[in-house]
């Protein structure tokens, strides 16, 4: 069984990449949630609650917020 790696065991480059990924996903999630809150329900495909739940709960390295921006919004 392999030993668990600790934060201190990671290289500086690996730590920076992890932090960058967390910031990227967090920023996308916040932007998607703000857009869901501000956009009228008739401009969103599906339920606002369903999209908000997916954006918050699905940990997908930005995939859920990007899916909302690409597929969930109606073009006016």
Give the pLDDT confidence of 7-53 residue by residue, as tens digits: 889 999 999 999 998 998 899 999 999 999 999 999 999 999 999 99
Query: How far is it, in rounded angstroms, from Cα 26 to Cα 64?
Result: 11
Given a cut of 70, is residue 3 above it in pLDDT? yes
Listing DSSP states for the chain in one string gives -PPPPPGGGS-HHHHHHHHHHHHHHHHHHHHHHHHHHHS-GGGBSS-HHHHHHHHHH--STTHHHHHIIIIIBPP-
If one compares 76 and 32, the residue with the highest pLDDT of the two is 32
User: What local confidence, expressed as pLDDT, does residue 23 receive?
Assistant: 92
Given a cut of 90, is residue 63 above it in pLDDT? no
- For residue 11, the tally of other CB atoms under 10 A from its CB is 8
User: What local confidence, expressed as pLDDT, does residue 67 receive?
Assistant: 87
């Amino acid at each position: 069984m392999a030993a668990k790696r600790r934060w201190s065991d990671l290289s500086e480059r690996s730590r920076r990449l992890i932090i960058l990924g967390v910031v990227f996903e967090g920023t996308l999630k916040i932007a998607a949630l703000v857009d869901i809150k501000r956009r009228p329900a008739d401009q969103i495909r599906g339920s606002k609650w369903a999209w908000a739940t997916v954006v918050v709960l699905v940990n997908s390295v930005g995939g859920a917020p990007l899916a909302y921006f690409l597929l969930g919004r109606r073009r006016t």
